[in-house]
Each structure stands twice: as structure tokens, then as C-alpha cells.
Structure 1
């Protein structure tokens, strides 16, 4: 069933809660730089996530672990300067919040003050409860992240689907309720069974954004480089490629190379 889309001049955390209440799905994508964020924002995407996936797609690391707080602030600042409408959420990177609630708050304050972003995102549930409380009590909006948590990849040992077993599924549901109770404005569910994700979304009042979590949630998020087909070697089931920029860009670069080699570029009308 289609739902009338409300126009939001600026998307806020309240806007997302209203979208859930009204049955309007939330569209979320990652961005890491000014130029891409400007296009994403102008396309009407509701939420831009400055993800620690920048560690993979921008810096070429195997995991999200190496990216630093300073680097996340740099990427977030670039994105914030580009947007007029979207809500900008920034990942707290690995090591900036897990062990010390005071450090978690300091990291969050730095992101908010130095980048101008609107919210932060943390991975985990009850194990980071004290960090969440500290950040939320300071008035900083928080988006949670449950299911597959990439910062814990060496703990899990694999990027496979999470919460297929009953005990883990019950813990995920409990963690989602905890995040809502603490005051998070939304939660991302990554790579969990669609039936479980739908159950979670229906059991809490805050929006649930899925990535590999089926269509029973309140919105979807993808890494922009993946959905544009720039990262052609990454092929999870949940990924839909909306274009093939890898091939298109390769053709453009090859054409430029050939034109330079043949002295066709620049032509007479491209010179001063």
C-alpha cells in the first residue's frame, strides 16, 4: 500500500518518528565527501550516514576498524557542508566509545561540535548501555545499530547473518527495547532474518532502518558506492545495484586516455 509522502524542508529526528507513525518508509544512504553528499541530498534522501564504511570504500581497508575519530570528523564536515535537507548521522569509530562512557561522550561532543552533524551512531546493545546513557543525557541524538556489527568482526569471525538462533534473537529484541527506553531516536538492523526484523520494528516506537533485514522495517540503508556499482566485487544478497558506475567510469577514463594519446583532446574549441 502506497503512502502519501510528506515534504520535509529539513529532516529531523522527529521527522523520522513521524514517518514511522504515518507509514512512510525512510530512505538512507552513506556519503563521505562534499560532492557525493550534495547529489544524495538533492535527490531527496532522508538520512545521510557518514559511515565508518569509509574505512573500506574510501581508504581501502579490509575492515572498519582502522578509521580514526579525526578521520570521521573530516568526512562528516565535508558532508555537512553539502546538505540542505537530510539528517546527517555519523558513526562513532571503533575504540571511541566501547570501554569508557566518558570517552564516548568526549568523542560524540567532538563530532557534533567539529563537524556540525546532527546525530551519532553506535554499535551494540546492553554492553554499551552506560556509554549510551552518558551521550543521551548530554542531549546528543543517538541512532543504535544491532545485528551484524562490523566493528565486532573479529569477535564474530564472519559477516554472516546474525540472530538466526533463538537466544541471539531474543537478545536482539531485548537490546532494541533497551535502545528505545534509553532514548535512541532510531536503530539500524544489519543482516538479520526478515521475520525477526519485522517483529522488532512492530514492537518499538522508534524507526528501524534495515540493511539486509527485509522489507518489514521502517526504512532502508545502503552504502552509496555499492548501490552505484562502484564496488563491483561486493555481492551480498541484500544489495541492489541501481547502476554500473564501475563500467561507465572505466569507459570514460579509457576514452580520455585515448583522446589524450591521439592528441584529440583538447580540441581547438577547448583551448584559450
Structure 2
């Protein structure tokens, strides 16, 4: 198969550089990733932090061009990109395949990855081995671990050897069975205190940030005020230090007939409908012979070459 994207990729480094202007080449050479220090500085200045999921080269590129500060290769890719029933089905090797693709597509965002279920819970030794693969093979700058006090020792171990960790409390998709499904967390006094205690344990263990998922807005605000590290909200109201959403949700990539959009999602695009309409139009053009156009989409051959070729046929 042949596409303009593949053609560009196959032209070679020197030809690609020759086609660039001086400013374009300078921008490529000087591209700099956001660092954890940059995120901490945004938090210090009380500037909201933007974070989005990405699962492959092109979604990573979207985030880069939009200047999103943090890109998360989230375990939601199990359902969104691979069609699994839950986030718990994806394997480590499958996950790393997608992490590498995002890294290649995005040169500027802080790259954080979820750790799939079953690859860090067994022991701190297992977590270190898994983290090493993410750092070495996936080129990530940080990992995100679901869990509070229970995973604090693992967070402390990883940060002690130089692996930055982002925490994740409240609704934790990998633990949805234990939590009674996908529902709002922290609605009782005891549960609210438990979430705050989880956040404090992660902060003490060395986490550089924590995701608050599906907790009441006022609770998230109080928790944010009582931590020194940034909070990243998803379904946690406007008072967190930053926000994260699933890219396929906000761009409308999923089939509306199969997707129930969470209340906290704001949809900014309608990729699915646009894609279906475009593909349907392509099919019509092919069937009625209007694509490819002989003058616009086709290559030409010299008359004498065609004549000599025709002679050979005869």
C-alpha cells in the first residue's frame, strides 16, 4: 500500500531535511520535552496543567501540535484501541508497543505511562523490573500507578531509584470490581478521609503528582488545598491543579451507538461521524468511477514510451 504519509517517511533523512526551511529544521533539532520540573513550576505558579491520553504515533502527534504538557499512555487503550472488555486484559508487551509509538510521535510532552494490571502488585522487585522495561524500551519519563496507601511502599522504592511516579486515587479502573463498579468515590465522610489519606501517603512516598478520578468537585478542591503536589482531575471538578481526559472521548472517535459518554467529558470533535461520511463518499466515488480522476490523481507516461510498450504487447 502507498500513502503520502508512508512516502514522506521513506524519502530518507537527508531529503526530508533538504525540504525543510531553516526555521523548521531549527525547531526540530531544538524540540524540548516538558519535564517534571516544568510541571512543578506550573503548579507553583498556579497555572492549570493539561494532560491527555495517547495510544499511537498519530495521537501522540496531535498532542504535540496542541502543546499539551503531559501525555499519558493510559490503560484505557485496552478498550479504546484494542477492543478488550476491560483495562485488565492488556499485556505488558502489548502496552510497551503502544508506548513506543507515542514516543516516536511526540517529542515535546512529558511522557507518562500507566502500568497494566498484574505487573507491579506482586512485589517491589516485580515493580522495579517492570519500571526498567518502561524506561529502557518505552522511553517514558514517569509511570502512573493506581492505588493509595497500599502502593505507597512501591512508589517509595521506585522514586528512590530515580523512577518518577504519578499516583491515581478515587475511582481506579483496574480496581473497579472491588470498588463496586464505575461510580463516584468519596461520597461519605469515611471514604473522603480515606482518599485524602491515600493522597498524603503517595505524596510522602515521593509521587510528583496524583490523579483524582470521579470524586466530588468540592472534595477534590479540599484535597488539592491540602497537598503540596499537583492534582490532576478527571471527573473531579475545576479546582484541581490540572485536568486529564481520554482523547478518543473528547474527539468523538467512538461509535455513539456503542459508547456512553461519562458526565465529566466535554466533546470537542466528531471524528467518528466525519470518518464514516468520508469513507462512504470514497466508496461512492469508486463505484461511479469519479475516483481516481485521470488528470488529478493519476501519473502520466510519455506517448513514445506508451507506443513502444504497446508494440511489445503486439
Secondary structure in 1 aligned to 2:89?
A: coil
TM-score (norm 2): 0.82
Are 1:208 and 2:231 counterparts? yes
Does the Cα contact within 8 Å between 1:72 and 1:90 map onto a contact in 2?
Answer: no
Uncovered stretches (5+) of structure 2, i.e. residues with no partner: 1-30, 300-314
Residue number in structure 2 paired with 1:99? 122
Rg larger for: 2
> Superposition pairs for residues 115-264 of structure 1, below 5 Å?
115-231=138-254, 232=256, 233-264=259-290
Does the Cα contact within 8 Å between 1:148 and 1:192 map onto a contact in 2?
Answer: yes
Secondary structure in 2 aligned to 1:154?
A: coil
Are 1:63 and 2:63 counterparts? no
Deviation at 1:234, TM superposition (A): 2.5
CA distance in 2, matches of 1:135, 1:219: 24
Deviation at 1:99, TM superposition (A): 2.2
Residue number in structure 2 paired with 1:16? 39
Deviation at 1:130, TM superposition (A): 2.2
TM-score (norm 1): 0.95
Secondary structure in 2 aligned to 1:143?
A: strand
Structure 1 window deviating more from structure 2 (200-209 vs 126-135): it is 126-135
Superposition RMSD in Å: 1.2
Residue number in structure 1 paired with 2:310? none
CA distance in 2, matches of 1:70, 1:39: 24
Structure 1 residue runs of 4 or more that deviate by more than 2 Å after TM superposition? none
Residue number in structure 2 paired with 1:4? none
Deviation at 1:9, TM superposition (A): 4.5
Uncovered stretches (5+) of structure 1, i.e. residues with no partner: 1-7
Does the Cα contact within 8 Å between 1:102 and 1:134 map onto a contact in 2?
Answer: no
